[in-house]
Amino acid sequence: MVDFALSDTERDIRDWVRNFVQRELMPLEPEALRRERNGERGITPEERDALREKARQAGFWGVQTPEEYGGMGLSAVMTALIEIELGRTHVPFSFGGQADNILYRGNEEQKQRYLLPTIAGERKSCFAITEPGAGSDAKDIRTTARKEGSEWVINGEKTFITGGIDADFTMVFAVTDREKGADGGVTCFLVDRDMGWTSEPIEIMGPWDRRPASLYFDEVRVPEENVLGEVGQGFALAMQWIGRGRYLLPARALGGCERLMEMSLAHSQSRETFGAPIADRQAIQWMLADSAVEIEALRWLVLQAAWQVDSGMDSRHAQSMAKLFGGVRANEIVDRMLQIHGGMGYTKELPVERWYRDVRLLRIFEGTDEIQRRTIARNLLKGHASVSGVLG
Ligand SMILES: Cc1cc2nc3c(=O)[nH]c(=O)nc-3n(C[C@H](O)[C@H](O)[C@H](O)COP(=O)(O)OP(=O)(O)OC[C@H]3O[C@@H](n4cnc5c(N)ncnc54)[C@H](O)[C@@H]3O)c2cc1C
């Protein structure tokens, strides 16, 4: 039997997060928006930590962190449901107690130095593969690492690195064997900032908090014990990091779309033109109807991809579909919602334009629309995926 209902536990957790967002985050929105417009963080690190602590007191900490590391070890479906709730506000917040999935691949010493302090919130990481000359085609990276005695010496430039401004260590990918390239010649290194790399913020159209950075490596010396995983096996680690939860990106956008739909339903019923609410006009109703259908479709694409993750299936095809549909549709939905708000939608008095700028990124990072389409088409053409989906 196909069952679309949430379990009692899933509903309880979802409702807890919904209340947390409503009670703790929503009241911060106007101030967060004001600060972002002044080129400041929406919420300060101290405010974020206080909110995380409050959630932790209620037992909410380490959403996907395994229980043996003190986390909740929640399922992918549950995590998606949580992201949808967090996406309902533009206050930039995530629960504490999380670390990059590939840090679990470290040896015991690396776990002590990097994984555990990251989970505890004492250290901050960033993931660095993209370069000025290699984005979609990540196999074409040129940053090099050469071995000198017991050290590796890294040279090169990374770009668009989220968290690169204030990370105190990076997981950086460098070519260690040019002949082999991505197939055995790329290695991942854990590199502390004080080993010598520098960063420079990149200004973007999205929120100030999201500014990525360029990272510069000029003869940066890294001890050999800082290789994460095996020498030459870094590309697979990079793919594992990127594949950690592509479904979570459209999940957050979905929350924003739900919120904007609610705002638009209310606005269209109160705003009158030519003697009647604009909600009476078919032009407006069609925008609302199309958006509602797309929101519903996106919800099930996201949750189905998450369900595949929980079921231990190869979920990459489903995740690409959720990411592609989410990116394209969220942009169209936000555009319609802005249209329904008329001139006010274009102003900075309402958060609609904030979402408009924000969701644009979804079509670019962690695999552009075109790259998702490429993946989906290839899977179908090679017979790795069926047009009938999981029902076969
Ligand atoms: C805000 C932000 C945060 C980011 N965070 C990180 C991060 O933390 N770490 C990190 O390593 N990277 C990060 N990135 C980089 C991001 O993943 C890349 O920007 C993205 O993969 C696209 O690469 P590119 O910008 O080089 O575009 P390109 O690869 O140059 O692509 C340009 C255009 O060509 C299209 N295209 C490329 N190849 C094909 C093809 N074969 N067929 C059809 N069309 C194609 C693309 O879809 C795109 O439209 C971030 C980017 C941004 C903007």
In this prediction, residue 48 carries a pLDDT of 95
Residue pair 81/10 in contact by the 8 Å Cβ criterion: yes
Is the pLDDT confidence value at 156 over 90? yes
Testing ligand 1's pocket by substitution, the residue of 101, 102, 127, 136 carrying the most ligand atoms inside 8 A of its CB is 136
- What average pLDDT does the segment 278-305 reach? 98
Give residue 195's pLDDT.
98
pLDDT, residue 159, reads: 98
Question: Has residue 1 got a pLDDT over 80?
Answer: no
CA of 206, closest atom in ligand 1: 1
Q: Report whether pLDDT(376) > 90.
A: yes
Backbone dihedral angles phi then psi of residue 273, each to the nearest 5 degrees: -135, 150
Mean pLDDT value across residues 80-92: 96
CA distance 337 to 253: 14
pLDDT tens for 100-113 read: 999 999 999 999 99
pLDDT averaged over the chain?
96
Residue 262 has pLDDT above 90, yes or no: yes
319 to 83, 243, 260, 314, 380: CA distances (angstroms) = 15, 8, 24, 10, 14
Q: How far is the CA of 354 from the centre of ligand 1 (A)?
A: 22
Query: Residue 335 contacts by C-beta under 8 Å, 6 or more apart in sequence?
Result: 356
Atom of ligand 1 nearest to the CA of 204: 1
Decide if pLDDT at 392 tops 90. Answer: no
pLDDT the model gives residue 230: 96
Active-site option among 46, 294, 366, 370: 366
* Beta-ladder partners of 205: none
Residue 274 above 80 pLDDT? yes
Q: Is the pLDDT of residue 391 over 90?
A: no
Residue 366 catalytic? yes
> Which residues make beta-bridge pairs with 190?
171
Ligand 1: centre distance to CA 24 (Å): 35
pLDDT of residue 161: 98
Residue among 239, 368, 373, 374 to mutate when testing ligand 1 (max atoms within 8 A of CB): 368
Q: Which residue's CA is minimally distant from atom 48 of ligand 1?
A: 368
Percent of the chain's residues with pLDDT above 70 = 100
* % of the chain residues with pLDDT over 90: 93
Per-residue pLDDT of 185-231, as tens digits, reads 999 999 999 999 999 999 999 888 789 999 999 999 999 999 999 99
Instruction: Kindly report the number of other CB atoms within 10 A of residue 26's CB atom.
Output: 14
Q: Which residue has a Cα nearest atom 30 of ligand 1?
A: 135
pLDDT at 390: 84
Tell me which residues have their CB closer than 6 angstroms to ligand 1. Answer: 127-130, 135-136, 160-162, 204, 210, 212, 361, 364-366, 368, 370-371, 374
pLDDT digits over 304-338, tens only? 999 999 999 999 999 999 999 999 999 999 999 99
Cut 0.85: pTM above it? yes
Mean pLDDT of 286-290: 98
Distance 170 CA to ligand 1 centre (A): 19
CA of 178 to the centre of ligand 1 (A): 22
Ligand 1 atom at shortest distance from the alpha carbon of 134: 26
Atom number, ligand 1, closest to the C-alpha of residue 366: 17
CA distance 130 to 213: 11
Predicted confidence at residue 38, as pLDDT, reads 87
Sign of CA pseudo-dihedral 337, 339, 342, 347: positive
CB 214 within 8 A of CB 158: yes
Pocket test for ligand 1, best of 157, 160, 188, 320 (most atoms within 8 A of CB): 160
pLDDT score for 51: 97
Instruction: Give me ligand 1 centre to Cα 33, in Å.
Output: 27
pLDDT recorded at residue 210: 86
Alpha-carbon distance values, 3 to 300, 304, 307, 392 (Å): 12, 11, 12, 18
Average pLDDT over residues 256-264: 98
Ligand 1 geometric centre to CA of 233 (Å): 22
